[in-house]
Chains A and B, each alone.
Chain A
Amino acid sequence: MTNTPADRQGIFTRRNLFGATAAGLAATSLGACATSGGDDEAEEVTVGEDAENPFGVDGTAPLDVVIFDGGFGNEYAVAHQAMYNEAYPDAEITHLATQAIAETQQPRFAEGKPCDVLDNSGAQQIPMDALVGDGELAELSPLLDAPSYDDPEVTVRETLRDGVLDAGTFNGEVYALNYVFSAWTIWYDAKLFRDNGWTPPTTWDEMLALCPTIQAAGIAPWTYAGQHPVYLYDMFLILAGRHGGVQVVKDIDNLVPDAWRHPSVVAAAEAMRGLGASGYLLEGSAGIDHIQSQTAFNNNEAAFLPCGSWLPNEQRSIAPEGFEYAPMGVPYLEGSVQPGLISAGGEEPFVVPKNATNLAGAYEYLRIMLSQEGAQIFGDTVQAATVVKGVELDNPAAQATDALVANPEDLFQPRFRFWYTGMDTEMRPALGQLINAETTADEFIERMQTVADETAADDTIEKFTHDE
Chain B
Amino acid sequence: MRHGKYPFILSFLALPVGLYAWLVILPFAQAFQISLTDWSGSSNSFNYIGFDNYVNLFKDERFVLPALQHTGIILVVMPVVTIALGLFFAFMLNLGGRMRRGRIEGVRGARFHKIVFFFPQVLSVAIVGILWKQVYAPENFGGLITGALTAVGLPAPVNGFLADKRFVLAAVIGVLVWSAVGFYLVYFSSAIASIPRDLYEAAIIDGAGRVPMFFKITLPLLWDSVQTAWIYLSIIALDVFVLVYLMTPEQGGPDASSEVVGGVIWKYAFKYGEQAFASAIGVVLFFAALSLAVVSLRVGRRERIEF
Contact = CB atoms under 8 A, between A and B. Distances in A.
Q: Which 7 residue pairs are nearest across A and B when measured between Cβ atoms?
A: A284-B138, A130-B273, A287-B163, A287-B160, A429-B255, A227-B249, A134-B43
A12 B45 contact: yes
B255 A433 contact: yes
A143 B65 CA distance: 46
A441 to B, nearest CB: 17
B42 A134 contact: yes
A419 to B, nearest CB: 12
Contact of B163 (A124, A226, A428): A226
B43 A110 contact: yes
Contacts of A229: 250
Interface stretch (A28-36, A55-63, A162-170, A253-261): A28-36
B294 to A, nearest CB: 25
Given A33-B26, A282-B140, A228 B46 contact: no
Interface residues of A, number: 60
Contacts of B256: 429
B189 interface: no
Nearest to B160: A287
B29 interface: yes
19 contacts: A8-B45, A22-B29, A25-B26, A33-B27, A34-B30, A38-B44, A39-B45, A110-B41, A127-B273, A130-B41, A226-B159, A284-B143, A286-B138, A287-B159, A287-B160, A429-B253, A429-B254, A429-B255, A433-B255
A25 B28 CA distance: 14
A429 B47 CA distance: 33
Nearest to B34: A35
Interface centre among A33, A35, A109 (most CB of B within 10 A): A35
Given A287-B137, A422-B62, 8 more contacts: A39-B44, A102-B270, A106-B42, A134-B42, A282-B140, A284-B138, A421-B272, A421-B273
Contact of B40 (A134, A285, A436): A134
A39 B63 CA distance: 33
B138 to A, nearest CB: 3
A69 interface: no
A288 B271 contact: no
Contact of A432 (B29, B143, B254): B254
B163 A227 contact: yes
Interface string A127-163: 1011101111000000000000000000000000000
Contacts of B272: 127, 130, 421
A436 B255 CA distance: 13
Interface of B: 21-22, 26-27, 29-30, 33-34, 39-48, 62-63, 137-141, 143, 158-160, 162-164, 249-250, 253-256, 270-274
Nearest to A39: B44
Nearest to B146: A284
B22 A284 contact: no
Nearest to B164: A287
Contacts of B164: 287
Contacts, number: 149
A210 interface: no
A410 interface: no
A22 B26 CA distance: 10
A408 B269 CA distance: 38
Nearest to A34: B30
A12 B44 contact: yes
A134 B250 CA distance: 27
Contact of A25 (B21, B27, B143, B249): B21
Nearest to B42: A109
A131 B45 contact: no
Given A226-B159, A228-B250, A37 B44 contact: yes
Nearest to A106: B42
A284 B62 CA distance: 26
A429 B250 contact: yes
A288 B159 CA distance: 8
Interface of B is mostly: loop
Nearest to A285: B159
Contact of B41 (A3, A26, A106, A283): A106
A312 B123 CA distance: 36
Nearest to A282: B140
A12 B46 contact: yes
A51 B160 CA distance: 60
A171 interface: no
A39 B34 CA distance: 18
Given A33-B30, A35-B30, A35-B34, A130 B249 contact: no
A11 B45 contact: yes
B45 A34 contact: no
Contacts of A228: 249-250
Contact of A17 (B21, B33, B143): B33
B173 to A, nearest CB: 18
B249 A133 contact: no
A288 B40 contact: no
A357 interface: no
B151 to A, nearest CB: 16
Interface in A1-29: 3, 5, 8-9, 11-12, 17-18, 22, 25-26, 29
Contacts of A284: 137-141, 143, 158-160
Interface in A411-449: 421-422, 425-426, 428-430, 432-433, 436
B159 A286 contact: yes
Contacts of B42: 106, 109-110, 126-127, 130-131, 134, 136
Given A126-B273, A127-B273, A286 B163 contact: yes
Contacts of A282: 140
A245 interface: no
Nearest to B157: A287
A34 B28 CA distance: 12
A452 to B, nearest CB: 14
Interface string A192-216: 0000000000000000000000000
Contacts of B253: 227, 428-429, 432
Nearest to A438: B165
Contacts of A340: none
B138 A287 contact: yes
Contacts of B137: 284, 287-288
A287 B141 contact: yes
Nearest to A29: B22
A361 interface: no
A339 interface: no
Nearest to B52: A460
Interface in A91-114: 102-103, 106, 109-112
Nearest to B32: A18
A287 to B, nearest CB: 3
